[in-house]
């Protein structure tokens, strides 16, 4: 029984770790997307300030070019993280299923043990009752 409890604790720990990983990846994606929006705003501001909106123009602001590149890198990284997020969610689902299987096995074993104890108790009560019945004068 002790090993089953240890296994349940291990499975719960694994599920918690997978949840943390999913949450961490989701946070990183949100942060990258927020940073991309901020860079987009800075790009538009720089374009308005310079009065040039065409990145191929020879006088296009260097800062805007660099910001466009950073934004594209961030969004590409966010897309890569989304793939990792899908994998992490699948791993979380598998870990959760494994944990539930172990918990169900434990519940079944505990129910069987309670039934065995109840049957033993009933047998003891029956034997006590039979002894009393024999001991009583008719």
Percent of the chain with pLDDT over 90: 79
Note whether residue 126 is domain-resident.
no
Note whether residue 134 is domain-resident.
no
Give, in degrees to the nearest 5, the angle at Cα 80 between 42 and 70: 25
In which band, very low, low, confident or very high, does the pLDDT at 128 lie, cut at 50, 70 and 90?
Answer: confident
pTM for this one? 0.74
In which band, very low, low, confident or very high, does the pLDDT at 1 lie, cut at 50, 70 and 90?
Answer: low
- Copy the structure tokens of residue 63: 């800062």
In which band, very low, low, confident or very high, does the pLDDT at 138 lie, cut at 50, 70 and 90?
Answer: low
Note whether residue 120 is domain-resident.
no
Note whether residue 127 is domain-resident.
no
Note whether residue 118 is domain-resident.
no
Note whether residue 138 is domain-resident.
no
Higher pLDDT pick, 128 / 41: 41
Domain count, the chain: 1
Note whether residue 21 is domain-resident.
yes
Note whether residue 121 is domain-resident.
no
Q: Residue 62 belongs to what domain range?
A: 2-106
Do residues 85 and 25 make contact, with C-beta atoms less than 8 angstroms apart? yes
| Distance of alpha carbon 9 from alpha carbon 88, whole angstroms | 20
Q: How far is CA 110 from the centre of its chain?
A: 28
pLDDT tens, residue by residue, 22-79? 999 999 999 999 999 999 999 999 999 999 999 999 999 999 999 999 999 999 999 9
């Amino acid at each position: 029984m002790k090993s089953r409890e240890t296994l349940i604790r291990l499975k719960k720990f694994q599920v918690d770790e997978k949840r943390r990983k999913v949450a961490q990846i989701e946070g990183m994606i949100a942060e990258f997307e927020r940073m991309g929006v901020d860079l987009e705003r800075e790009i538009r501001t720089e374009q308005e300030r310079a009065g040039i909106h065409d990145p191929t123009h020879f006088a296009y602001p260097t800062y805007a070019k660099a910001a466009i590149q950073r934004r594209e890198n961030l969004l590409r990284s966010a897309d890569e993280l989304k793939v990792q997020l899908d994998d992490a969610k699948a791993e979380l689902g598998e870990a959760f299923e494994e944990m539930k299987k172990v918990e169900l096995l434990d519940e079944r074993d505990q129910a069987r043990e309670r039934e065995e104890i109840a049957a033993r108790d009933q047998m003891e009560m029956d034997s006590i009752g039979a002894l009393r019945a024999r001991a009583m004068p008719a």
